[in-house]
Amino acid sequence: MTDTSGLLREPWDNFERQRSAGKFGIWVFLASEVLFFGSLMLTYTVCRIDHPEAFAAAGRATNIWYGTINTAILLTSSLTMAVASQAATVGRVFRRLVIWCLAATASLGIAFLVVKAFEYKEDIEKHLVPSAGFALHDTGAQLFFGLYWLITGVHAVHLIIGIVLVSRLALLGYLQKLQIGEAPEIEVTALYWHLVDVIWIFLYPLIYLPGRAS
């Protein structure tokens, strides 16, 4: 039996209970996040039903390579995150693996943002920011890109928060300040990370695939 007394926080008198409350709390929060992104996707859906042609044309104007590479990066980061989370449950045996996987997850998150930055730069050069000099002329194409900037921007903010949380855990683990087997933070952070990833899996076809099949 490992000592968990150092991890016990107010108001709990039982560490297992505290741990499950943490998990339960993050699940409730994720439900809230689903509605957050859900309403953005709903807005997208309504606009797309109004302007199917313009959305197809605008979808073709995105750079599918950046999007696909980023999807691969983010899926891989979820793998490393899942490995870290699972390895942590075993305890100190896999301490190095946990830290490496956390570091890899954060790095992949940063890689995603770097690719995204290149994509944003290209979009700006191609005048894909809604304004007077917008590149596409179909009515509704500006709606697509308005939502594109907003949704990917909000997603990036979520990812940055995730990177900060994961890096913090990696650092604390490296400094021996994290009780890897017991601390609930790794699993809670992992759940958040996976949600950000799952949202991207929905965003990828919505943003990059319209208008490409035919």
Residues forming contacts to other proteins in the complex (CB under 8 A) are 10-11, 17, 20-21, 24-25, 28-29, 31-33, 35-36, 38-40, 42-43, 46-47, 50-51, 54, 130-131, 139-140, 142-143, 145-147, 149-150, 154
What number of other Cβ atoms are within 10 A of residue 69's Cβ?
A: 16
Which lies closer to other proteins via its Cβ, residue 93 or residue 157? 157
Which lies closer to other proteins via its Cβ, residue 2 or residue 39? 39
Smallest separation (angstroms) from other proteins to the CB of 3: 22
Smallest separation (angstroms) from other proteins to the CB of 142: 4
Rounded CA separation 64/204 (Å): 9
Smallest separation (angstroms) from other proteins to the CB of 49: 10
Rounded CA separation 204/209 (Å): 7
Smallest separation (angstroms) from other proteins to the CB of 146: 4
How is 39-95 classified by DSSP, letter by letter? HHHHHHHHHHHH-HHHHHHHHHHS-HHHHHHHHHHHHHHHHHHHHHHHHHHH-GGGH
